[in-house]
Amino acid sequence: MKCRDRAFVFFLALCCFAQLACAAVVDWSVAKVRAFEQTSDVVAPTVPFLFDVDGQFNGDGFDTVSLEGLSGGPAPLVNFNANDWEGRRQFIGEAAFLSEFPGDGILTIVATSSAGTVREDVLVGAEFPGAIPFFTGNAVSRLGGVAPGQDFMFTWEAPPATGGIQQQSLLIIDQTTDLEVWAVDATGLSSAVLPAGTLAAGGEYLAVLEFFDVVQGLREGFAEGEEFSGTANATGIFFSSQAVPEPTSLLLLGLGAFACAGLRRRA
């Protein structure tokens, strides 16, 4: 398994469909995330081990996209798929995070093209949500060696109604590819079923539950599109799916079943 400090990757679910018009039409999301790891079935995590500033951007016709406002300098977003851009900056420990992230929670999206540069200030928020996600139902124990061919029920403690949580997300990350393999909008829910067949045999995964405090800012630079910003607490469980039995084991199981069937016929 990869180093947890590097591999705790968070994805903001955002459907992006964009086109280039007279004014740039883009979809974007910016969030700062406080990450926790759950290692117990009964004890909720309390100490974050990783902080993350994450940006996603979708827009046609741009050459570069970056986030400005971090004291460490701009955070470039990588163009990874057609018009999609993504980037993040991660910090080990709260002190490192606070030293680079502005206290007022304002960042600026800067997108350049042959037509010029477009800038948009983004209000992310200064405070993290109070509620920390916590998986229930012995999730840590049950996820160890989970069978890919079976449904898996996730349950969690729902955030308090007064906790300032406007959105919840549950997702599974493949630790080998760092790609999301499953995600649901868990807003207002306290359980969700991972369908059988979603996981590969012998895979390394991360289950992540996110609680978002969403900030609705004013659109400035980009006239049209979808926007999302806010702060989030995210709790993850690292786990491995059950491996496929070795051929010898399968043969022995088959012989055992055949022998039992023969005994029943002779009985």
**Alpha carbon distance 151, 198 (integer Å):** 9
The encoded tokens of residue 194 equal 């991972």
Confidence class for position 215, pLDDT limits 50, 70, 90? confident
Structural domain boundaries in the chain: 4-266
The encoded tokens of residue 87 equal 């980037």
Parallel, antiparallel or unpaired: strands 204-215 and 227-240? antiparallel
- pLDDT tens for each residue of 101-148: 867 778 899 999 998 999 988 888 888 999 999 999 999 999 999 999
* Residues 53 and 59 sit within 8 Å (Cβ to Cβ): no
Q: What is the pLDDT of residue 3?
A: 44
Residue 143 sits at φ, ψ, to 5 deg, of -75, -20
- pLDDT tens for each residue of 136-181: 999 999 999 999 999 999 999 999 887 789 999 999 999 998 889 9
Does the 4-266 domain belong in CATH 2.60.40.10?
Answer: yes
The encoded tokens of residue 219 equal 């659109």
| Residue among 52, 60, 54, 66 nearest 16 (CA) | 60
- Give this prediction's pTM: 0.79
* Residues 36 and 211 sit within 8 Å (Cβ to Cβ): no
Residues in a beta bridge with 207: 172, 237
**Alpha carbon distance 156, 105 (integer Å):** 29
**Alpha carbon distance 248, 228 (integer Å):** 52
Residues 50-55, mean pLDDT to the nearest whole number: 90
Helices (H), 168-267: 247-266
- Residue 235 CA: distances (Å) to CA of 100, 129, 156, 200: 23, 13, 11, 22
Q: What is the pLDDT of residue 179?
A: 86
User: What residue ranges in 195-259 does DSSP mark as E strands?
Assistant: 204-215, 227-240
Residue with tokens 């649901």: 184
